[in-house]
Amino acid sequence: MSTTRAPRGRRPGAPDTRAAILAAARHRFAANGFARTSVRSVAAEAGVDPALVHHYFGTKDELFLAALELPVDPRKVLLPAVAAGGLDDAAERILRAFLSVWDDPDIQVRLVAAFRSVLDADADGERLLREGFLPVVLGPVGEALGIDRPELRMPLVASQVLGLIMLRYVIAVEPLASLPGDDVVTIYAPTLQRYLTGELP
């Protein structure tokens, strides 16, 4: 997303309204959490009209993802993969879409940095992950999949994907870090597929 490349402050002589809105959004989301932050309050802190926030960023969900400064919009990676086929092999398509960005060396560096900054901060990052990222990203994916009990199944998927991200990319534990993508799919797709469509207690 080009929105993530904006500079952080206002440039002298060329006030950067987008950057000011993003800075306000980061501050409000971190201070008050996702659920209790309104587009209105972000606009007020940035000193602009709420309509301008919507103009630049769309919905609150989109503003939130922009504020996280992710190098890619996870919904734009995952939703096409979901739509490309049926539910029976959805896990494999989701995993391949996931690997297409995380195994790209340039994107990976920026994703690891974004991931670290979310976890590294104090409890704020965790709250944003819990209240914001998971619902904003997992919600639409679960809905697009059309699965039953998405409120349990999607966090199950997330629990495996998160551990894979940490060991393969962030902590870089061998042999996971160097495992060919096809092997990652062979190993993890059955796990994710069971979480998506298998029996639940």
Q: Which residues bind a second copy (CB under 8 A)?
A: 119-120, 126, 129-130, 134, 151-152, 155-156, 158-164, 166-168, 170-176, 182-183, 186-187, 190-191, 194-195, 200-201
Nearer to a second copy, 1 or 179 (CB): 179
Instruction: Output the smallest distance, CB 137 to a second copy, in A.
Output: 12
CB of 99 to a second copy, least distance (A): 14
Cβ closest to a second copy, residue 31 vs residue 200 = 200
CB 83 within 8 A of CB 60: no
| Smallest separation, CB 171 to a second copy (Å) | 5
- As a whole number of angstroms, the distance between CA 39 and CA 53 comes to 7
Q: Answer yes or no: are the C-beta atoms of 66 and 133 closer than 8 Å.
A: no
For tokens 């995993």, name the residue: 95
CA distance 81 to 103: 16
Beta bridge partners of 11: 14
Q: Identify which of residues 31 and 152 has a Cβ nearer to a second copy in the complex.
A: 152
